[in-house]
């Protein structure tokens, strides 16, 4: 085994054998998972709101509202089933489920889902009802005015027999809603109830103006037929989710590459600082050449980065297969079909080499994290620029500013993965990649020299001195 | 090969600062050579140039018959002045790793590491993280790391610094063992007693220049012999004795004085003693003091130590 590989192996094992490394691998997906699942879990675990409607309008506003609440909940359930169909079987399954729901309700929709993905259909649970409408307290319903009804509502809510009581009063265009609730900060139902009552008031106002219920429904159902078309679509015209997926994947890859490169380069920096501060670098220099030491360290940390990436990719893949197999198929097709995987790999390697070599070279001058912060501050500021523009690349990947920034080599590994999905001109792909490759070679040469000078240098070094030491022609 | 290392007119300049100026010397193969000098004399720069870590600004260096020391890295063992090891590694892993970089297969490296650690009484600690070892133990581990590949040339930069007297003695024994198996040892120090006990040859540096190159006995000759006289006699009375040069005096705790008088080159001290007895000076004790390497060092470096 060559010295380079021995150094790489030591570097890899030194981190991989620590508990902290595996905790850090688990930490990010765990945080993402908790962030994504927490609202859903909270919603699922929340008890339905026990609501009573006291109708003092004399216009059957209460029963109409209760009916609207049930209809809204049914619509939420139907939407959830279609979302499950999309992730489990793709857009086609979603469309089939929609048609089945229209003809035979949710039961028919579930049958269709079962045909596409039996396990997803078996796993599917309709969302829990947010509200249960209970009969109002008799005394409140018989109260002479909203104030008297309010006293009863206050008692019922205060003594936890009900979670909320809605008192409807007034008439026609001047309905008043008094909502008594235990939740002071944000009554859960407030917005839903306001919308539903507003709808009923609108329907009735139009009815009074002579618009029939059928006409109103027909008017509400009016929607233009919309077709999203593009010559870049796989079908040649109609744009599907799969056509949009590359841009989303490109954005995700850009962010992933950014975090992986930064993580890898930071690990490398810490490793070099540790060796410099504990005086190991000088012993290493007497045992191996600078390219062997730097190459070994860069390779070892690349192994770590790939381990992290592999674990995350495997975890993500298993999650996709389990929860959204339709999307998993599309993802593979996108990654392989447009060669995105190759481009992402090339930009990962280029970006990693560029920043890892730079961080290693700078690290050789640092005996502590504080020294490193002084020297790396400007580099870190530069590294945040592509992140700002990555989101922009989803909406307008051909924006002139993105085009220009892609030609700046330190940004290329982050911005080009995002843009590559939208098929930028070949000259841009080749040109930016070639420029990046040349820069990588230049930075490796510069950092190798810096590493050698830094490894034997002592004392505190600022950025100006560092550049002077490296650029200066050594007398020897 | 007569000399393991040869330097011919070697200089090292950092900007305007001349760290090493026109230095030439040889390190004989199979011998222990001490590289002496006060702090800042240019020892570490010279060692780094010998090892190929720094390029020389001028001159020629030959190491183990090669002009480029990096081409014979695997035949050299090096212990730097400021020492460090991977703190989370175990001694056996660290030694095998560094031996591996010098071309020793891993299994063999681990075997040698185990044997050497046991020989140094560190067998019980071979699988403990280095951060749990004492400073002396860690230094032994590092020295073993520099030796496990059985180098022909061993370069030790201030190997005794930071060690307690017991570990210093153990290190001296290790250096003798290295030389006994035929390896060349070059070590730097500013503590003359170690060099005096160990070295076949010494090279003295001061202000970037070589000020002496030869065996210990010759080095001692650089400093004059002295006559020590103790009793109730004054410095003036001592200075009036024949064959004596400069005199330094100190009061003794139980009364009287201790005078150290430098003997002139031609004097053996007899004339001065005869005259002292003839003048009936009150003399309680006298001693002819041979110069130590430390004395020579002071003279040769101009009192920089």
B21 touches chain A (CB under 8 A): no
- Estimate the crossing angle of helix B91-101 against helix B135-147, to 10 degrees: 30
Taking CB atoms and an 8 Å limit, are A288 and B98 in contact across chains? Answer: no
| The pLDDT value given to residue A475 | 37
Long-range CB pairs of B68-76 (<8 Å, 24+ gap) are B70/A289, B73/A286, B73/A287, B73/A288, B73/B102, B74/B102, B74/B103, B74/B149, B75/B151, B75/B152, B75/B153, B76/A286, B76/B51, B76/B151, B76/B152, B76/B153, B76/B154, B76/B155
| The pLDDT value given to residue B115 | 92
Residue A476 has pLDDT above 50, yes or no: no
Which residue of B56, B78, B89 is in closest CB contact with A476?
B56
pLDDT tens digits for B256-273? 899 998 888 777 788 888
C-beta of residue A181 within 8 angstroms of C-beta of residue A153 = no
pLDDT tens digits for A409-420? 989 988 888 888
| The pLDDT value given to residue B303 | 62
Between CA A283 and CA A173 the distance in angstroms is: 87
Taking CB atoms and an 8 Å limit, are A289 and B51 in contact across chains? Answer: no
* pLDDT (average), residues A124-138: 87
| The pLDDT value given to residue B186 | 94
Residue A17 has pLDDT above 80, yes or no: yes
Residue B33 has pLDDT above 90, yes or no: yes
B197 touches chain A (CB under 8 A): no
Coil, strand or helix at A173 = coil
C-beta of residue B210 within 8 angstroms of C-beta of residue B301 = no
B13 touches chain A (CB under 8 A): yes
pLDDT tens digits for B39-48? 888 888 999 9
Taking CB atoms and an 8 Å limit, are A1 and B100 in contact across chains? Answer: yes
* Residues in chain A within 8 Å Cβ distance of B83: 279
Taking CB atoms and an 8 Å limit, are B87 and A6 in contact across chains? Answer: no
pLDDT tens digits for B220-258? 887 888 889 899 888 898 888 888 888 889 999 888 899
| The pLDDT value given to residue A151 | 92
Give the pTM: 0.75
Residue A187 has pLDDT above 80, yes or no: no
Residue B145: closest CA among chain A residues belongs to which residue? A283
Closest CA of chain B from A448, distance in Å: 14
Residue A77 has pLDDT above 70, yes or no: yes
ipTM comes to 0.79
Residue B302 has pLDDT above 50, yes or no: yes
Banded model confidence at residue A300, pLDDT cuts 50, 70, 90: very high
Q: What share of chain B is helix, strand, coil (3-state, %, to 5)?
A: 35, 30, 35
* Residues in chain A within 8 Å Cβ distance of B135: none
* Residues in chain B within 8 Å Cβ distance of A282: 53, 80, 82
* Residues in chain B within 8 Å Cβ distance of A277: 84
Put simply, the chain A residues between 16 and 55 with a CB less than 8 A from any chain B CB are: 18
Taking CB atoms and an 8 Å limit, are A289 and B89 in contact across chains? Answer: no
* pLDDT (average), residues A206-216: 89
- Mean pLDDT for all residues in chain B: 88
* Residues in chain B within 8 Å Cβ distance of A476: 12-13, 49, 54-57
Taking CB atoms and an 8 Å limit, are B88 and A283 in contact across chains? Answer: no
* Residues in chain A within 8 Å Cβ distance of B86: 10, 14, 278, 280
């Amino acid at each position: 085994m060559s010295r380079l590989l021995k150094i790489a192996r030591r570097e890899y094992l030194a981190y991989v054998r620590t508990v902290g490394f595996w905790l850090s691998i688990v930490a990010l997906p765990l945080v993402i998972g908790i962030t994504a699942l927490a609202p859903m879990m909270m919603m699922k675990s929340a008890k339905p709101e026990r609501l009573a409607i006291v109708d003092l309008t004399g216009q059957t506003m209460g029963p109409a509202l209760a009916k609207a609440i049930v209809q809204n909940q049914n619509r939420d359930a139907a939407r959830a089933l279609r979302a499950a169909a999309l992730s489990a079987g793709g857009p086609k399954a979603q469309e089939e489920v929609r048609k089945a729901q229209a003809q035979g309700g949710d039961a028919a929709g579930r049958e269709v889902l079962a045909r596409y993905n039996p396990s997803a259909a078996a796993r599917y649970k309709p969302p829990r009802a947010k509200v249960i409408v209970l009969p109002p307290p008799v005394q409140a319903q018989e109260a002479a005015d909203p104030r008297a009804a309010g006293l009863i509502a206050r008692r019922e809510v205060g003594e936890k027999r009900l979670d909320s009581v809605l008192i409807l009063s007034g008439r026609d265009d001047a309905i008043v809603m008094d909502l008594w609730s235990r939740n002071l900060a944000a009554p859960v139902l407030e917005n839903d109830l306001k919308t539903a009552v507003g709808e009923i008031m609108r329907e009735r106002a139009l009815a009074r103006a002579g618009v029939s219920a059928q006409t109103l429904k027909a008017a509400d159902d009016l929607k233009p037929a919309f077709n999203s078309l593009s010559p870049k679509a796989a079908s040649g015209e109609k744009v599907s989710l799969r056509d949009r997926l590359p841009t989303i994947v490109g954005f995700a890859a850009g962010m992933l590459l950014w975090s992986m490169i930064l993580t890898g380069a930071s690990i490398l920096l810490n490793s070099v600082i540790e060796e410099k501060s504990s005086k190991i670098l000088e012993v290493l220099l007497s045992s191996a050449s600078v390219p062997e030491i730097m190459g070994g360290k860069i390779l070892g940390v690349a192994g770590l980065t790939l381990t992290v990436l592999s674990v995350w990719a495997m975890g993500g893949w298993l999650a996709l297969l389990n929860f959204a197999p339709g999307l998993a198929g599309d993802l593979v097709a996108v990654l392989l079909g447009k060669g995105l995987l190759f481009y992402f790999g090339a930009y990962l390697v280029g970006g990693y080499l560029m920043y890892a070599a730079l961080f290693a070279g700078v690290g050789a001058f640092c005996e502590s994290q504080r020294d490193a912060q002084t020297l790396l501050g400007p580099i870190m500021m530069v590294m945040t620029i592509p992140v700002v523009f990555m989101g922009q690349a989803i909406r307008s990947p051909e924006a002139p500013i993105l085009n220009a920034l892609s030609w700046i080599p330190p940004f290329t590994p982050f911005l080009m993965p995002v843009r590559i999905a939208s098929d930028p001109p070949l000259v841009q792909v080749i040109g930016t990649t070639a420029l990046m490759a040349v820069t990588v070679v230049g930075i490796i040469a510069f950092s190798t020299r810096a590493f050698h000078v830094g490894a034997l240098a002592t004392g505190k070094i600022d950025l100006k001195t560092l550049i002077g030491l490296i650029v200066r022609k050594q007398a020897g | 090969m007569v000399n393991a290392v040869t330097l011919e007119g070697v200089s090292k300049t950092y900007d305007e600062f001349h760290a090493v100026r026109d230095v030439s010397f040889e390190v004989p193969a199979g011998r222990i050579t001490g590289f002496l000098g006060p702090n800042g004399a240019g020892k570490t720069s010279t060692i780094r140039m010998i090892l190929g870590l720094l390029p020389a600004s001028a001159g020629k260096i030959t190491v183990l018959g090669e002009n480029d020391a990096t081409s014979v890295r695997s035949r050299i063992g090096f212990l730097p002045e400021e020492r460090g090891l991977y703190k989370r590694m175990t001694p056996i892993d660290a030694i095998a790793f560094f031996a591996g970089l010098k071309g020793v297969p891993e299994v063999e490296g681990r075997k040698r590491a185990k044997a050497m650690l046991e020989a140094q009484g560190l067998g019980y600690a071979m699988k403990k993280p280095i951060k749990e070892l004492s400073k002396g133990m860690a230094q032994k581990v590092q020295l073993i790391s520099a030796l496990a590949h059985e180098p022909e040339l061993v370069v030790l930069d201030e190997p005794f610094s930071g060690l307690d007297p017991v570990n210093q003695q153990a290190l001296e024994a290790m250096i003798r063992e290295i030389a006994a198996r035929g390896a060349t040892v070059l070590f730097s120090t500013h503590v003359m007693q170690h060099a005096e006990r160990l070295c076949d040859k010494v090279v003295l540096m001061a202000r970037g220049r070589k000020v002496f190159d030869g065996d210990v006995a010759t080095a001692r000759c650089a400093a004059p012999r002295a006559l020590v006289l103790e009793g109730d006699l004054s410095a003036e009375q001592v200075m009036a004795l024949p064959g004596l040069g400069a005199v330094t005096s100190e009061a003794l705790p139980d009364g009287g004085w201790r005078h150290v008088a430098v003997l002139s080159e031609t004097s053996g001290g007899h004339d001065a003693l005869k005259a002292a007895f003839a003048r009936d000076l009150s003399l309680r004790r006298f001693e002819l003091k041979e110069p130590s390497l430390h004395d020579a060092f002071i003279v040769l470096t101009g009192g920089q130590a």
